[in-house]
Amino acid sequence: MKLRFPTILRLLVFALLIVFLIRPEWFASVFRPLTENNAPAIYNQGSLLTLTLLHLRTVAIATAGATVVAIALAILVTRPIGAEFLPLSRSLVNIGQTFPPVAVLALAVPAVGFGEKPTLIALFLYGLLPIFENSLTGLTTLPPTVTDAARGVGMTGWQRLIKVELPLAMPIILAGIRLSVVINLATATIGSTVAAKTLGEVIIAGLQSNNLAFVLQGGLIVGILAVMIYDGMSAIEKFIAKRTGLVQQT
Protein backbone atom coordinates (compact mmCIF):
# COMPACT_ATOMS: atom_id res chain seq x y z
CA MET A 1 0.00 0.00 0.00
CA LYS A 2 1.26 3.42 -0.91
CA LEU A 3 1.26 5.94 1.90
CA ARG A 4 -0.59 9.00 0.74
CA PHE A 5 -0.29 12.47 2.19
CA PRO A 6 -3.43 12.35 4.42
CA THR A 7 -2.29 9.03 5.88
CA ILE A 8 1.19 10.38 6.62
CA LEU A 9 -0.32 13.48 8.19
CA ARG A 10 -2.54 11.37 10.44
CA LEU A 11 0.35 9.17 11.53
CA LEU A 12 2.39 12.26 12.32
CA VAL A 13 -0.38 13.83 14.38
CA PHE A 14 -0.92 10.56 16.19
CA ALA A 15 2.79 10.26 17.01
CA LEU A 16 2.79 13.85 18.21
CA LEU A 17 -0.18 13.11 20.48
CA ILE A 18 1.55 10.08 22.01
CA VAL A 19 4.72 12.04 22.65
CA PHE A 20 2.72 14.89 24.16
CA LEU A 21 0.87 12.53 26.50
CA ILE A 22 4.03 10.82 27.70
CA ARG A 23 6.36 13.82 27.83
CA PRO A 24 4.14 16.94 28.03
CA GLU A 25 6.98 19.00 29.51
CA TRP A 26 8.81 18.89 26.16
CA PHE A 27 6.05 21.12 24.79
CA ALA A 28 6.16 23.70 27.58
CA SER A 29 7.70 26.35 25.35
CA VAL A 30 4.90 25.97 22.82
CA PHE A 31 2.22 26.71 25.40
CA ARG A 32 4.20 29.32 27.38
CA PRO A 33 2.92 32.35 25.40
CA LEU A 34 -0.66 31.44 26.38
CA THR A 35 -0.02 31.79 30.09
CA GLU A 36 0.10 34.88 32.26
CA ASN A 37 1.83 35.71 35.53
CA ASN A 38 4.23 32.78 35.30
CA ALA A 39 1.43 30.24 35.54
CA PRO A 40 2.42 26.67 34.65
CA ALA A 41 2.31 26.07 30.87
CA ILE A 42 1.62 22.34 31.18
CA TYR A 43 -1.20 20.80 33.21
CA ASN A 44 0.34 19.92 36.57
CA GLN A 45 -2.50 18.51 38.67
CA GLY A 46 -2.29 14.98 37.36
CA SER A 47 -1.02 12.89 34.48
CA LEU A 48 -2.44 13.81 31.08
CA LEU A 49 -1.93 10.23 29.95
CA THR A 50 -3.97 8.82 32.85
CA LEU A 51 -6.75 11.34 32.25
CA THR A 52 -6.81 10.50 28.54
CA LEU A 53 -7.05 6.78 29.22
CA LEU A 54 -9.81 7.32 31.79
CA HIS A 55 -11.62 9.59 29.35
CA LEU A 56 -11.43 6.90 26.66
CA ARG A 57 -12.58 4.27 29.14
CA THR A 58 -15.64 6.27 30.13
CA VAL A 59 -16.58 6.81 26.48
CA ALA A 60 -15.93 3.16 25.65
CA ILE A 61 -18.10 1.82 28.47
CA ALA A 62 -20.95 4.25 27.76
CA THR A 63 -20.88 3.61 24.00
CA ALA A 64 -20.65 -0.16 24.44
CA GLY A 65 -23.73 -0.03 26.66
CA ALA A 66 -25.56 2.23 24.23
CA THR A 67 -24.58 -0.03 21.33
CA VAL A 68 -25.90 -3.17 22.96
CA VAL A 69 -29.18 -1.57 24.01
CA ALA A 70 -29.74 0.36 20.76
CA ILE A 71 -29.03 -2.63 18.50
CA ALA A 72 -31.15 -4.92 20.65
CA LEU A 73 -34.00 -2.41 20.50
CA ALA A 74 -33.64 -2.03 16.74
CA ILE A 75 -33.69 -5.81 16.29
CA LEU A 76 -36.74 -6.12 18.51
CA VAL A 77 -38.80 -3.50 16.70
CA THR A 78 -37.93 -4.85 13.25
CA ARG A 79 -39.27 -8.34 14.13
CA PRO A 80 -42.98 -8.89 13.55
CA ILE A 81 -43.42 -9.50 17.28
CA GLY A 82 -41.98 -6.13 18.30
CA ALA A 83 -43.24 -3.95 15.44
CA GLU A 84 -45.78 -2.19 17.64
CA PHE A 85 -43.02 -0.99 19.95
CA LEU A 86 -41.36 0.98 17.17
CA PRO A 87 -43.03 4.36 17.91
CA LEU A 88 -42.46 3.94 21.64
CA SER A 89 -38.77 3.08 21.28
CA ARG A 90 -38.31 5.96 18.86
CA SER A 91 -39.73 8.42 21.40
CA LEU A 92 -37.67 7.01 24.24
CA VAL A 93 -34.46 7.23 22.28
CA ASN A 94 -35.32 10.70 21.03
CA ILE A 95 -35.88 11.87 24.60
CA GLY A 96 -32.44 10.49 25.47
CA GLN A 97 -30.95 12.62 22.74
CA THR A 98 -32.84 15.84 23.38
CA PHE A 99 -32.38 15.78 27.15
CA PRO A 100 -29.27 17.92 27.75
CA PRO A 101 -26.42 15.84 29.23
CA VAL A 102 -25.84 18.55 31.84
CA ALA A 103 -29.39 18.11 33.06
CA VAL A 104 -28.92 14.34 33.15
CA LEU A 105 -25.84 14.85 35.30
CA ALA A 106 -27.74 17.12 37.67
CA LEU A 107 -30.52 14.58 37.99
CA ALA A 108 -28.25 11.57 38.26
CA VAL A 109 -25.89 12.86 40.95
CA PRO A 110 -28.45 12.72 43.80
CA ALA A 111 -29.32 9.18 42.75
CA VAL A 112 -25.90 7.61 42.15
CA GLY A 113 -23.48 10.10 43.72
CA PHE A 114 -20.54 11.98 42.22
CA GLY A 115 -17.88 10.44 39.97
CA GLU A 116 -17.98 8.37 36.83
CA LYS A 117 -21.47 6.88 37.23
CA PRO A 118 -23.59 9.95 36.43
CA THR A 119 -21.33 10.66 33.46
CA LEU A 120 -21.82 7.12 32.16
CA ILE A 121 -25.60 7.51 32.43
CA ALA A 122 -25.56 10.82 30.56
CA LEU A 123 -23.29 9.51 27.80
CA PHE A 124 -25.25 6.27 27.50
CA LEU A 125 -28.51 8.15 26.94
CA TYR A 126 -26.87 10.64 24.61
CA GLY A 127 -25.29 7.91 22.51
CA LEU A 128 -28.41 5.81 21.95
CA LEU A 129 -30.07 7.76 19.17
CA PRO A 130 -27.49 7.61 16.37
CA ILE A 131 -26.92 3.89 16.90
CA PHE A 132 -30.61 3.07 17.15
CA GLU A 133 -31.62 5.10 14.10
CA ASN A 134 -28.78 3.71 11.99
CA SER A 135 -29.47 0.13 13.06
CA LEU A 136 -33.11 0.65 12.18
CA THR A 137 -32.20 2.02 8.76
CA GLY A 138 -29.71 -0.78 8.17
CA LEU A 139 -32.15 -3.52 9.10
CA THR A 140 -35.11 -2.12 7.17
CA THR A 141 -33.39 -1.21 3.91
CA LEU A 142 -31.84 -4.56 3.05
CA PRO A 143 -32.18 -5.56 -0.62
CA PRO A 144 -35.57 -7.31 -0.88
CA THR A 145 -34.25 -10.07 -3.16
CA VAL A 146 -31.65 -10.98 -0.55
CA THR A 147 -34.12 -11.16 2.34
CA ASP A 148 -36.51 -13.15 0.15
CA ALA A 149 -33.72 -15.55 -0.80
CA ALA A 150 -32.78 -15.94 2.86
CA ARG A 151 -36.31 -17.15 3.60
CA GLY A 152 -36.46 -19.16 0.40
CA VAL A 153 -33.37 -21.24 1.16
CA GLY A 154 -34.91 -22.24 4.48
CA MET A 155 -33.22 -20.08 7.10
CA THR A 156 -35.06 -19.64 10.40
CA GLY A 157 -35.75 -16.13 11.68
CA TRP A 158 -32.70 -16.30 13.94
CA GLN A 159 -30.44 -17.56 11.16
CA ARG A 160 -31.63 -14.80 8.85
CA LEU A 161 -30.80 -12.19 11.51
CA ILE A 162 -27.35 -13.53 12.36
CA LYS A 163 -26.21 -14.72 8.94
CA VAL A 164 -27.75 -12.16 6.62
CA GLU A 165 -29.45 -9.14 8.14
CA LEU A 166 -26.88 -8.04 10.73
CA PRO A 167 -23.82 -8.58 8.52
CA LEU A 168 -25.42 -6.59 5.70
CA ALA A 169 -26.58 -3.82 8.03
CA MET A 170 -23.17 -3.70 9.76
CA PRO A 171 -21.61 -0.79 7.82
CA ILE A 172 -24.59 1.44 8.59
CA ILE A 173 -24.70 0.32 12.24
CA LEU A 174 -20.98 1.06 12.55
CA ALA A 175 -21.56 4.54 11.16
CA GLY A 176 -24.05 5.08 13.98
CA ILE A 177 -21.56 3.86 16.57
CA ARG A 178 -18.94 6.16 15.10
CA LEU A 179 -21.19 9.21 15.42
CA SER A 180 -22.05 8.20 18.94
CA VAL A 181 -18.39 7.80 19.93
CA VAL A 182 -17.42 11.17 18.52
CA ILE A 183 -20.32 12.96 20.20
CA ASN A 184 -19.52 11.27 23.49
CA LEU A 185 -15.80 12.00 23.30
CA ALA A 186 -16.65 15.70 23.39
CA THR A 187 -19.56 15.40 25.81
CA ALA A 188 -17.54 13.36 28.31
CA THR A 189 -15.56 16.49 29.25
CA ILE A 190 -18.55 17.88 31.16
CA GLY A 191 -18.41 14.77 33.34
CA SER A 192 -15.61 16.48 35.21
CA THR A 193 -18.13 18.95 36.64
CA VAL A 194 -19.37 16.03 38.74
CA ALA A 195 -15.88 14.76 39.56
CA ALA A 196 -15.50 12.15 36.84
CA LYS A 197 -11.88 11.68 35.81
CA THR A 198 -11.88 12.90 32.22
CA LEU A 199 -9.97 15.41 30.14
CA GLY A 200 -12.64 17.88 31.19
CA GLU A 201 -10.59 18.32 34.37
CA VAL A 202 -7.84 20.00 32.39
CA ILE A 203 -10.25 22.33 30.68
CA ILE A 204 -12.09 23.18 33.87
CA ALA A 205 -8.82 23.76 35.73
CA GLY A 206 -7.80 26.12 32.93
CA LEU A 207 -11.08 28.01 33.10
CA GLN A 208 -10.89 28.36 36.88
CA SER A 209 -7.32 29.66 36.94
CA ASN A 210 -7.76 31.66 33.73
CA ASN A 211 -5.02 29.57 32.10
CA LEU A 212 -5.60 29.37 28.36
CA ALA A 213 -2.81 26.81 27.97
CA PHE A 214 -4.69 24.24 30.07
CA VAL A 215 -7.95 24.81 28.18
CA LEU A 216 -6.15 24.38 24.88
CA GLN A 217 -4.34 21.21 26.00
CA GLY A 218 -7.54 19.52 27.13
CA GLY A 219 -9.42 20.63 24.04
CA LEU A 220 -6.68 19.62 21.62
CA ILE A 221 -6.32 16.12 23.04
CA VAL A 222 -10.09 15.52 22.85
CA GLY A 223 -10.23 16.99 19.35
CA ILE A 224 -7.36 14.91 18.01
CA LEU A 225 -8.75 11.75 19.61
CA ALA A 226 -12.14 12.42 18.01
CA VAL A 227 -10.68 12.95 14.56
CA MET A 228 -8.45 9.86 14.79
CA ILE A 229 -11.22 7.60 16.03
CA TYR A 230 -13.61 8.97 13.42
CA ASP A 231 -11.13 8.23 10.63
CA GLY A 232 -10.26 4.80 11.99
CA MET A 233 -13.87 3.73 12.21
CA SER A 234 -14.67 5.14 8.77
CA ALA A 235 -11.88 2.99 7.36
CA ILE A 236 -13.29 -0.12 9.05
CA GLU A 237 -16.77 0.66 7.68
CA LYS A 238 -15.41 1.09 4.17
CA PHE A 239 -13.55 -2.18 4.43
CA ILE A 240 -16.64 -4.07 5.55
CA ALA A 241 -18.87 -2.37 3.00
CA LYS A 242 -16.44 -3.39 0.26
CA ARG A 243 -16.42 -6.95 1.52
CA THR A 244 -20.20 -7.09 1.48
CA GLY A 245 -20.32 -5.65 -2.03
CA LEU A 246 -22.62 -2.87 -0.89
CA VAL A 247 -20.43 -0.29 -2.54
CA GLN A 248 -18.69 -0.80 -5.84
CA GLN A 249 -14.99 -1.28 -5.57
CA THR A 250 -13.01 1.59 -6.99
Partner 1 sequence: MIEIENITKRYGAATVVNDVSLVVEPRTVTVIVGTSGSGKTTLMRMINRLVEPTSGIIKLDGEDNRSLPGHELRRRIGYAIQGHGLFPHRTVAQNIAIVPVLLGWDKAKIDKRVEELLSLFQLDPTIFGPRYPHELSGGQQQRIGVARALAAEPNVLLMDEPFGALDPVIRSKAQEDLLSIQKRFGTTIILVTHDMEEAIHLGHKIAVMDGGNLLQYATPAEILANPATDFVATLVGTGDRPFRFLSLNSTGDAVEPGNAEGEAIPASASQRDALAELLWSGRPALPVINEAGKAIGRVTVEGLVKRASRPAA
Task: Report how many residues bind partner 1 under the rule CB under 8 A.
Answer: 23
146 makes contact with partner 1 (CB under 8 A)? yes
Choosing from 156, 210, 234, 238, the residue that interacts with partner 1 (CB under 8 A) is: 156
Closest CA to 133 of 183, 78, 186: 78
Rounded CA separation 236/238 (Å): 5
Q: Which of residues 218-237 bind partner 1 (CB under 8 A)?
A: none
Q: Residue 87 CB, nearest distance to partner 1 (Å)? A: 23
250 makes contact with partner 1 (CB under 8 A)? no
Choosing from 7, 91, 210, 244, the residue that interacts with partner 1 (CB under 8 A) is: 244
246 makes contact with partner 1 (CB under 8 A)? yes
Q: Which of residues 68-107 bind partner 1 (CB under 8 A)?
A: none
DSSP, res 17: H
Helix, strand and coil content of the chain, in percent to the nearest 5, comes to 80, 0, 20
Give the sign of the dihedral formed by CA 232, CA 14, CA 22, CA 29.
negative
150 makes contact with partner 1 (CB under 8 A)? yes
Nearer to partner 1, 110 or 152 (CB): 152
245 makes contact with partner 1 (CB under 8 A)? yes
Choosing from 26, 68, 88, 151, the residue that interacts with partner 1 (CB under 8 A) is: 151
162 makes contact with partner 1 (CB under 8 A)? no
Q: Residue 122 CB, nearest distance to partner 1 (Å)? A: 36
**Choices 92-100, 127-135, 216-224, 238-246; region in contact with partner 1 by CB under 8 A:** 238-246
Q: Which of residues 3-22 bind partner 1 (CB under 8 A)?
A: none
30 makes contact with partner 1 (CB under 8 A)? no
Q: Which residues contact 112 (CB under 8 A, 6 or more apart)?
A: 118, 121
Nearer to partner 1, 29 or 250 (CB): 250
Rounded CA separation 134/137 (Å): 5
DSSP string, 192-235: GGGT--STHHHHHHHHHTT-HHHHHHHHHHHHHHHHHHHHHHHH
Q: Which residues contact 244 (CB under 8 A, 6 or more apart)?
A: 167, 168, 170, 171
Choosing from 23, 148, 234, 235, the residue that interacts with partner 1 (CB under 8 A) is: 148
Contact 52, 221 (CB under 8 A): yes
Contact 199, 189 (CB under 8 A): yes
Contact 121, 109 (CB under 8 A): no
Which residue ranges make up the site for partner 1 (CB under 8 A)? 143, 145-146, 148-156, 159, 163-164, 167-168, 243-246, 248-249
